[in-house]
Structure 1
Amino acid sequence: MNSIYGNAFLALIAANSSDCKDGFFQRSVLDEAPETDNTRYSFPYEEEPINSRAWALQEWELCPRRLVFASYRLIYTCEERLRPGFKRDPFTGRCRTQLAPEANPHTWGTLVEKYSVRKLENPDDKLTALAGLAERFASLTEGNYGRYLAGLWEEDLLRQLLWRQWNTVDFRAPVASKRPETWRAPSWSWVSIDGPISCMPLAPEKCSPAILVSAEATPTSDVSPYGRIASGAITIRGPCVVSCASKGLRADLITDSTGWTKLRRGKKEFATVAFDTKEDGEVCDSPGKLHFLGILNATSKTWGLILITADDAKFRRVGVFFTDDNSAWLQEESVSIYTII
């Protein structure tokens, strides 16, 4: 897809069509929008049907020029000039795509967040529909961020592991994340859930108390390292605290508007957590142990992963947490090695 869309001279985008069976030459309610140097017209392009489809994101981002058949008018955009009536990119402030030459991990996180709110006809295409963008990112960054591992980049992996579900993309209709019926990606990857996610932002001052020992994500095909994977695992050595729900660990009944909730042990606050799915949050009611693995120290907080025991002495991710650096949590930590699948 990268070579196809990236080398195209012009992409014709039927933005106002719900699927391939719909036409896109409907008569517009706006017959004419006169151009002036001082007037800008606002058209809700973000609400067009095409923006709900996951496959369409890379078509938009990879093409250098686009002729968009929107509901209210015809729009032309390119990397050099912005025609009246079309808003500038909210991230760069320019008419360029997200994948400009100055691409960095923040750029990738922004793309992933945009991609995660879109829908797929076939859930197994979660990585495939993003493969073109991953290939372009690797090219633009000259491979400086290492291998592509199930939607994350090796050289920035510890920070990128701290993604979390985001259940309030629209306050009027919160979206609950869920895991697919069949295995698609390891639990440490955002690809393992369906639903909106939020990526850990770049922190100006950060250090990692954890060490990445190994990381693997095996593609199903030797032809494309950016498509579907057959297996994946990471091994991390870092500080951890083990606690058990049966010993008084409980979550508040009320979750804030961004998906975080307080986890308490007795009357004391233990950590602020965000579980990946509703089912994952139910571990607080089970007798099993929760492993809190510290990953990153940033903004006067310790951020990390919440793990539970899986098969063969391995662990599975169920959420993320943060706690203040001066928390009593740190007094209980010990260093351990975890293999997460």
Structure 2
Amino acid sequence: MPDSDLSADSDITQAWYNLITMYTQRTLTRPRDRLNALAGIAEQYHQYWPYSKYFASLWEHQLPGSLLWSNHRHGDYHRRPDICHAPSWSWASRDGRAGMDWCSMNNGMYCTVIHCNITPAKKVNPISKVEDGGILVLEAIIQQATWSTDKDGFRDLFTVTGAPLDQYGSESGQSNIGLAYSDAIEKQQDANVYVAFVGQNVKEQCAHGLVLVPATDQIANTEAYNYPVFHRVGSFEAPLYWSSFPETWLQSK
């Protein structure tokens, strides 16, 4: 692709991300209609990306980077809807603002999308509301971790269970490797989580990824797919100069 085309596509992609951030700041009378309300604009963007599939607000060709939408810096927390609007890996699965800056900042990817599929509520209009849930299969580095609210209560402190104390460690002997941000207010906040590394901002020497908990419902379970199945509950950033653990994990791939 010529440099001019690459530049144009980059501008269009950034415009899409900016649109999502602005759109998710607005309040709808019926939050479950978020994807329907966006469908007309998504159709216009589909003219630029005619060969890219649309998965509940995420474009296929922008994966896995577009998974890095986040609630960081905004603190716009809402209770997770009782009725599923979209898969947990889509920002449309919860209410409130979705920051997209990590999506375009990451210039190194740690994971690969193996398979992605959603079921539109109306087959005649695949760029609209979806049926409950969706499948996203990633080949990724996943590690166990714990998270807890920091002393100021502004955001979550991301720590590794059983890690030795270092200069950034807590008094409990856990090593602080980064910061995690909840996607929504959950009915039950799990302290024990998993983290999946998605991308890296090389300039800032920072890794980004997803905070996950094992799926426990009857639809998404390990036995059905022969691999671990998770729900997304947050995102994280891990400065590689804070601790040696992230880099050690990444080198183990």
Compute the TM-score of the two structures, normalised by the length of structure 2.
Answer: 0.77
Q: Which of 63, 66, 70 pairs up with 1:160? A: 66
The percent of aligned pairs where both chains have the same amino acid is: 25
Matching of residue 309 in structure 1 with residue 214 in structure 2? yes
Instruction: Give me the whole-angstrom Cα distance separating, in 2, the residues matched to 1:201 and 1:132.
Output: 23
The Cα offsets for residues 283-313 of structure 1, whole Å up to 9 and x where unpaired, read as 12xxxx4111000011311110011100312
Q: Which residue of 2 aligns with 1:223?
A: 124
Counterparts in 2 of 1:280 and 1:301: CA distance versus 1, 3 Å: farther
Q: How does 1:147-296 map to 2 (within 5 A)?
A: 147-165=53-71, 168=74, 175-199=76-100, 200-203=102-105, 206-230=107-131, 231-243=133-145, 245=146, 250-256=148-154, 260-265=155-160, 266-279=173-186, 282-284=189-191, 289-296=192-199
Q: Secondary structure, in 3 states, of the residue corresponding to 1:143?
A: coil
TM-superposed deviation, 1:262: 2.6
TM-superposed deviation, 1:138: 0.9
Matching of residue 120 in structure 1 with residue 22 in structure 2? no
Q: How does 1:90-129 map to 2 (within 5 A)?
A: 104-129=12-37
Instruction: Give me the whole-angstrom Cα distance separating, in 2, the residues matched to 1:214 and 1:187.
Output: 16
The Cα offsets for residues 127-170 of structure 1, whole Å up to 9 and x where unpaired, read as 0000000000111x1425x11110111111211111112574xx
Instruction: Give me the whole-angstrom Cα distance separating, in 2, the residues matched to 1:235 and 1:181.
Output: 24
Q: Secondary structure, in 3 states, of the residue corresponding to 1:117?
A: coil
Q: Which residue of 1 aligns with 2:240?
A: 325
User: Which has the higher relative contact order, 1 or 2, with Cα contacts under 8 A spaced 6 or more apart?
Assistant: 2
The Cα offsets for residues 105-142 of structure 1, whole Å up to 9 and x where unpaired, read as 21111111111111111222110000000000111x14
Instruction: Give me the whole-angstrom Cα distance separating, in 1, the residues matched to 2:64 and 2:153.
Output: 26
Q: Is contact 1:163-1:190 (8 Å) kept?
A: yes
Q: Is contact 1:166-1:198 (8 Å) kept?
A: yes
Supply the AA of the counterpart residue of 2:55.
L
Q: Secondary structure, in 3 states, of the residue corresponding to 2:63?
A: helix
Q: Secondary structure, in 3 states, of the residue corresponding to 2:27?
A: coil
TM-superposed deviation, 1:329: 2.1
Compute the TM-score of the two structures, normalised by the length of structure 1.
Answer: 0.58
Instruction: Give me the whole-angstrom Cα distance separating, in 2, the residues matched to 1:101 and 1:303.
Output: 23
Counterparts in 2 of 1:310 and 1:222: CA distance versus 1, 3 Å: same
Q: Is contact 1:106-1:201 (8 Å) kept?
A: no
Instruction: Give me the whole-angstrom Cα distance separating, in 1, the residues matched to 2:149 and 2:53.
Output: 37
Unaligned runs of 5+ in 2: 1-7, 161-172, 223-228
Unaligned runs of 5+ in 1: 1-99, 169-173, 336-341
Instruction: Give me the whole-angstrom Cα distance separating, in 2, the residues matched to 1:167 and 1:134.
Output: 26
Q: Is contact 1:263-1:270 (8 Å) kept?
A: yes
Q: How many residues align?
A: 217
Instruction: Give me the whole-angstrom Cα distance separating, in 2, the residues matched to 1:280 and 1:158.
Output: 28
Instruction: Give me the whole-angstrom Cα distance separating, in 1, the residues matched to 2:187 and 2:69.
Output: 15
The Cα offsets for residues 245-282 of structure 1, whole Å up to 9 and x where unpaired, read as 4xxx54413255xxx43323435313211111232782
Q: Secondary structure, in 3 states, of the residue corresponding to 2:140?
A: strand
Counterparts in 2 of 1:107 and 1:221: CA distance versus 1, 3 Å: same
Q: Is contact 2:80-2:185 (8 Å) kept?
A: no
Supply the AA of the counterpart residue of 1:277.
A
Q: Secondary structure, in 3 states, of the residue corresponding to 1:219?
A: coil
Counterparts in 2 of 1:177 and 1:304: CA distance versus 1, 3 Å: same
Q: Of the two, which has the highest radius of gyration?
A: 1
